[in-house]
Homo-oligomer: A and B are copies of this chain.
Amino acid sequence: MAMNKILIAQGGGPTAVINQSLVGAVLEARRFRQIDWVYGARHGVRGIVNEDLVDLTQETSANLERVAATPASALGSTRDKPDIAYCQEIFKVLRAHEIGQFFYIGGNDSSDTVRIVSEEARKAGYPLRCMHIPKTIDNDLVGNDHTPGFPSAARFVVQAFAGANLDNAALPGVYVGVVMGRHAGFLTAASALARQFADDGPHLIYVPERDFVIERFLADVKATYDRLGRCIIAVSEGIHDASGAPIATQLAKTVERDAHGNVQLSGTGALADLLCDQIKDQLKIKRVRGDTFGYLQRSFLGCVSDVDQREAREAGERAVQFAMWGGRDGSVAIKRTGRYAVDYELVALDSVAGKTRVMEDELIAGSGTDVTDAFRAYLQPLLGSGMPETHRLRAPAVEKVLKK
């Protein structure tokens, strides 16, 4: 058996830079004389079991570069979470096509798939090299300084809150922005980097690492509104009470319109709307607006960190280099080596697979509604170059004539 073929696939939610990793791996693989064919699977593991494969060896370098700069998984993705039986199906196809190396770009679930496929190959005595290339806007992979995809999504969140802050300063009121992140608050916390002046929003930040208490929330909002005449709030979609129950569900119980229990609370604008209702009803504030950033924060075309692009590209390249020269399966992990510089290590698949990183305590302020300087120092270099700034008029007041 020649083992001169590699197969690459993309899994989970797309990011702005997932194709950089794809193209990094493809172009690097094409440099090796031991590799004759570079295959891609359409729609992740589903494409493997369906034998829905394409020959990436027949792509031009120019088109690959243009695809690299295009967001969202160019091969297509899947939400399938393979169990052992599914992985055996994957393995059967890999074997039939004499694949020698398997690369899967994805998050926690994808790394677990790679781990199981690696096990199956080992059990069968089939010489398959299995590599996981990290990707997730949630930044929740353990053992990584950060994950490719997170910096660009964080940049979107920063630019969104910086703009919302200006809009809200022009027409004051309360603004609630709901950000992705079920368990890890990194993306919501990124909103803190939107602040340029001392009274800029977001003024309050709620992450799933801290229990959410609606009474405390309302008191926080009231205090800010009384002080500034306005309040901008960043909320993670994953906020929950002390029992772990999602706040959207909790609030839905208290409002008539959701009393019937048939409301889908995820992937909708429900949480933002419910929080806005609470602020209006309980605090009697009139101008209260909520936005759910939804798919925009991971898919918006043209909002990307150049640092993220470069690192996603390198993660793909390094995965191939580790596969060719490393002698073992694993997951590529980003390590921070300077201010700012990174390097890539190959870590064991079971150290990443199925585990979830959340924000470390030192990144969250004691108040529980802000980040620390350590978080700001952590995120700032990831956002990339060319971040737009905001500036204010500094004109002095004109002396009153009628009302002096």
Contact = CB atoms under 8 A, between A and B. Distances in A.
A243 interface: no
A277 B393 CA distance: 46
A63 B398 contact: no
A401 B260 contact: no
Contacts of A273: 264, 268-270
Contacts of A269: 268-270, 272-273, 290, 292
A71 to B, nearest CB: 6
Contacts of A52: 397
Contacts of A302: 159, 163, 303, 387-388
Interface in A21-55: 39-40, 43, 50-55
A391 interface: yes
A171 B391 contact: no
A97 B14 contact: no
Interface in A359-404: 387-398, 400-403
Copies per complex?
A: 2
Given A66-B391, A262-B256, A269-B269, A295 B167 contact: yes
Contacts of A295: 163-164, 167, 175, 289, 291
Interface in A273-316: 273, 276-277, 289-296, 298-303
A59 B391 CA distance: 12
Given A169-B76, A268-B290, A302-B159, A401 B54 contact: no
Interface in A66-98: 66-67, 69-79, 92-93, 96-97
A51 B393 contact: no
B289 A267 contact: yes
A257 interface: yes
Interface string A235-255: 000000000000000000000
A163 B393 contact: no
A302 to B, nearest CB: 4
Contact of A260 (B159, B256, B268): B256
B289 A291 contact: no
B14 A166 contact: yes
A286 to B, nearest CB: 11
A296 B299 contact: no
Contacts of A43: 170
Contacts of A75: 393
Interface in A1-28: 10, 13-14
5 contacts: A14-B171, A59-B394, A162-B301, A163-B300, A268-B290
- The 7 A-B pairs with the shortest beta carbon distances in the complex, nearest first, are A269-B269, A72-B166, A291-B294, A163-B299, A66-B391, A167-B299, A54-B395
Given A43-B170, A268-B290, 11 more contacts: A10-B170, A54-B397, A56-B395, A70-B166, A70-B391, A160-B296, A160-B299, A163-B296, A163-B300, A166-B299, A291-B296
